[in-house]
Amino acid sequence: MAWTRQILRVNLTEGTCIAEPLNMDWANQYLGQRGLATRYLVDEIDPKCDALGPDNKLIMATGPLTGTMASTGGRYSVITKSPLTGGVACSNSGGFFGAELKSAGWDMIIFEGSSPRPVYLNIENESASLEDASEIWGKSCWETDEVLHAKHQDPQMRVACVGRSAEAGCLFSAIVNDLHRAAGRSGVGTVMASKNLKAVSVRGTLGVGNIKDPARFMESIAAGKKVLAENAVTGEGLPALGTQVLMNVINEVGAMPTRNMQEVQFEGAHKISGEAMLEPRASDGKPNLTRNGGCFACTISCGRISTVDREHFSVKEKPQYWGNSGGLEYEAAWALGSDTGVDDLDALTYVNFICNEDGMDPITFGATVAAAMELFEAGVITTANTGGVELKFGSAEALCWAVEQSAVSEGFGADLNLGSRRLCEKYGRPEMSMTVKGQEFPAYDPRGIQGMGLAYATSNRGACHLRGYTVSSEILGVPEKTDPLATEGKAGLVKAFQDATAAVDSAGLCIFTTFAWSLDDISPQIDSACDGDWSPERLVEVGERIWQLERDFNMKAGLTGADDTLPDRLLKDAAKSGPAKGKVCELGSMLPEYYQLRGWTTDGTLTAETRSKFGLPA
C-alpha cells in the first residue's frame, strides 16, 4: 500500500500511453522512486545504448510516501542513462509536481522511444495523452509553464518541462517543475528533449490513500514533524537561512572550492552567504530574501524566495526579472559564486533565475564557467572565442553574459553547454575539468573534508554531494562527529551514508530531513504506510541493494574501477589555506577498504557473492 500500483508507459515513437500494474516484487526489494525506477531501467535498456538516442528510456518516479502528509513527502526522481556521465542518472526534485503525479494515480511514468515531432504529455488522473508541443517548443521553462496553464485553464495543474538549453543539446540540462524546482543534475533534461518531449503537465485529484495503518502513520509522521521542528538545523537554520546556512561554515573549515577548485577558501563568501541574503540593499532597503517557501508537505521549508535589485545591471532594463522567484541555494551560490570568484549576490541571483528559466544545472554550469575562466586566464581561450568578453575570475558581467549565451546555446554558450570535461578536452587541457565521471563537483572540497573525496569518487552519478553526505558527520556532527581531515573509518562512514540515502530517496522523502532524522525516525513512517516490514535494518539492506544495482548498471555501461577517482588537482595539489592547509585528498587510503566493505574485487567489480546476496539481475 501507499503505492498506487499503477505505472504509465508512454511510447513516444508510437504515441501511445498505456497503464500497467506496478511490479510489486520489485517494490518490495527496491521500495520506490530512485531504487524501483532504477530496477525498471536496468531491466529495460541496454546499458551501452546512446543516452540521447531512442533506445534510452526516461522514468519519472514517485515514492510510496510521495503525496502523503509525511514531512517532505512530495518528491520525485528522474532516472535515465546520463549523457554527461554515461552511467545511471538519478535526479531528485521537490516542489509540487511529484505529489500531483501521485495524486493522479501514478507511481511512475516510463518514457520510451522518441517522438517524431515535439509533444508534451498531459495527465488528468487516469487519462493521459500526448499533445502537440509546437506552441511551446523553443520557449523557456517559464513561458512553457504559463502557456500550458493558460491552455488547460487550471491554476492547480503542475508542469515539469525542459527549456531552450535542453532543446539545443546542452549536456547538463535540468527538468524544471513548478518554475523553480529542478531535477537538476546529470543532464536528465537533455535526455527528455532528445525524445522531443517538451513537458509533462499533471492534474491529480484522486489523492493518495491506501495507507496500511492510518492511525499509526499519523502518529509517526507527527512524531517526525516534531523532531524536525526541535532540531537546530531543520527547525531553525534551514528555515532562516536555507542551505546557504553552510556558506560561512564551510568556508571557515577550508573546504570551500574556489576559482575552479584552485583554492579552498573564498574571500567573498560573506558577501554571498545566507546571512548576506538577509541584509537590506542600499537601493530599496529590501533584502535579497523575501521569505522561505516549502515544497509539498515540507515542514522545514528551506526554499529561498528572492528578488534581484532592480538597479542591478543584470536586470535594470528587464522588468520581467523584477518579481520574486527561486533564490540561491548553497550549491548554486557556491558554483556561480565562489567557484567563479564572483561575490556579487544580485548577479548570482539573476544567473540562478536564468538557470531555472531555461533549465540548466547551476552546479555544472557554474563549474563549467569556472573551468572556462581558468582556460581564459591561461590564455587557452581568448576574446576571439568569447566574442570580446573578458572571461575572468571574479567578473559578474562575464558570468551574466555566459548564462544568457548558455540558455539559448549561442556563440560560446554552445561550448559551455558541453560541460567542463568536454570543454577542457576540446581546448586540450583536460586536467582543468573538475569532474568525476564527467560530472562537476559540488560545494565541498575533499581536501578539507576527506570523506567527501571518497563519496565523490564512488558516487554512481559522478561527483555529487547527495549520494553520501558525510559533511553531516565530518562538519556538523550528525549523527556523530568525525574528524574531517582524517581518513580512518571514512570507508564505512561513506558506505553507511550512501545506503541510507538511497533508502530515503526511494521513499519519496527529502534527504535534508536526515539532518534531524535517523532511519529510526523514518522507518515507522514507511512501515505504517507500506505493506511489508520496513524496519531500519531492512531499509539499510534495500539502500545497499539499490547502490549495488546502480553500480552494476554503470559497470555494464562501460565504467570501471579506474573511474572511481578524482582530478589530480585534488589528489596532488595541497590546500593553500585554512585548517586543511598542506593537505591533499587521500583517496588511495580509503578506496580499497571501501571496495572490500562493498563486496567488490580490488578493481571495483561486483563479486558473484555480492550479486547473489542482493539478488541482482543477471
- Interface residue with another protein, options 23, 28, 114, 292 (CB under 8 A): 292
How many angstroms separate the CA atoms of 128 and 267, rounded? 52
Which CB sits closer to another protein, 151 or 613? 151
Least distance to another protein, CB of residue 72, Å: 9
Which CB sits closer to another protein, 208 or 452? 208
Least distance to another protein, CB of residue 311, Å: 18
Which CB sits closer to another protein, 191 or 202? 202
DSSP state of 607: P
Asked whether the bond before 479 is cis by omega within 30 degrees of 0, the reply is yes
- Interface residue with another protein, options 324, 518, 535, 577 (CB under 8 A): 324
Question: Binding segment for another protein among 44-52, 295-303, 422-430, 439-447 (CB under 8 A)?
Answer: 295-303
Which CB sits closer to another protein, 315 or 559? 315
Contact 168, 409 (CB under 8 A): yes
Which CB sits closer to another protein, 131 or 527? 131
- Interface residue with another protein, options 1, 49, 179, 380 (CB under 8 A): 179
Question: Binding segment for another protein among 162-170, 298-306, 351-359, 454-462 (CB under 8 A)?
Answer: 298-306
Residue 553, C-alpha cell as written in the block? 548498471
Which CB sits closer to another protein, 302 or 363? 302
DSSP state of 243: G
Least distance to another protein, CB of residue 155, Å: 5
Distances, alpha carbon 409 to alpha carbons 113, 140, 364, 439, in Å: 25, 13, 15, 19
Least distance to another protein, CB of residue 469, Å: 23
Number of residues assigned to the chain: 618
Q: Report CA 168 to chain centroid distance, whole Å.
A: 21
* Window 180-209: contact mask with another protein (x via CB under 8 A): ------------------------xxxxxx
CA angle 264, 265, 266 (to 5 degrees): 130
Distances, alpha carbon 173 to alpha carbons 165, 266, 267, 330, in Å: 6, 27, 30, 19
Least distance to another protein, CB of residue 290, Å: 4
Name which of residues 70 to 89 contact another protein (CB under 8 A). Answer: 71
CB atoms within 10 A of CB 46: 11
Which CB sits closer to another protein, 63 or 294? 294
Least distance to another protein, CB of residue 220, Å: 14
CA angle 590, 591, 596 (to 5 degrees): 105
Least distance to another protein, CB of residue 124, Å: 8
68 binds another protein (CB under 8 A): yes
Least distance to another protein, CB of residue 203, Å: 8
- Interface residue with another protein, options 58, 199, 297, 590 (CB under 8 A): 297
DSSP state of 276: G
Least distance to another protein, CB of residue 297, Å: 6
Grouping H, G, I as helix, E, B as strand and the rest as coil, residue 108 is strand
Which CB sits closer to another protein, 68 or 548? 68
How many angstroms separate the CA atoms of 405 and 395, rounded? 15
Residue with cell string 500497467: 20
How many angstroms separate the CA atoms of 247 and 304, rounded? 15
Name which of residues 215 to 234 contact another protein (CB under 8 A). Answer: 218, 225, 229
Round to the nearest angstrom and report the end-to-end CA distance of the chain: 29
DSSP state of 520: H
* Window 529-568: contact mask with another protein (x via CB under 8 A): ----------------------------------------
For another protein (CB under 8 A), the number of binding residues is 45
Least distance to another protein, CB of residue 600, Å: 41
Contact 94, 75 (CB under 8 A): yes
* Window 90-129: contact mask with another protein (x via CB under 8 A): ------x--x---x--------------------------
Contact 406, 416 (CB under 8 A): yes
- Interface residue with another protein, options 323, 532, 592, 617 (CB under 8 A): 323
Residue 76, C-alpha cell as written in the block? 520525485
Question: Binding segment for another protein among 302-310, 381-389, 583-591, 608-616 (CB under 8 A)?
Answer: 302-310
DSSP line for 37-85 = HHHHHHHHS-TTS-TTSTT--EEEEE-TTTTSSSTT---EEEEEE-TTT
Distances, alpha carbon 139 to alpha carbons 316, 417, 599, in Å: 23, 18, 48
Least distance to another protein, CB of residue 331, Å: 21
Alpha helices in 429-586 (DSSP H): 450-458, 471, 490-507, 519-529, 536-557, 568-572
How many angstroms separate the CA atoms of 555 and 549, rounded? 10
Question: Binding segment for another protein among 45-53, 65-73, 258-266, 537-545 (CB under 8 A)?
Answer: 65-73
- Interface residue with another protein, options 117, 270, 291, 426 (CB under 8 A): 291
Contact 33, 508 (CB under 8 A): yes
Least distance to another protein, CB of residue 514, Å: 18
Least distance to another protein, CB of residue 359, Å: 18
Grouping H, G, I as helix, E, B as strand and the rest as coil, residue 448 is coil
* Burial (0-12, 13-18, 19+ Cβ within 10 Å), 59: buried
How many angstroms separate the CA atoms of 386 and 375, rounded? 12
CB atoms within 10 A of CB 311: 12
1 binds another protein (CB under 8 A): no
Least distance to another protein, CB of residue 140, Å: 15
Which CB sits closer to another protein, 218 or 540? 218
Contact 472, 517 (CB under 8 A): no
The amino acid occupying position 331 is: E
What residues have CB less than 8 Å from 243, skipping those under 6 apart? Answer: 274, 302, 329, 330, 331, 512
Name which of residues 361 to 390 contact another protein (CB under 8 A). Answer: none
Name which of residues 135 to 164 contact another protein (CB under 8 A). Answer: 146, 149-156
285 binds another protein (CB under 8 A): no
User: Which residues of the chain form contacts with another protein (CB under 8 A)?
Assistant: 67-69, 71, 96, 99, 103, 146, 149-156, 179, 204-209, 218, 225, 229, 239, 290-299, 301, 303, 305-307, 323-325
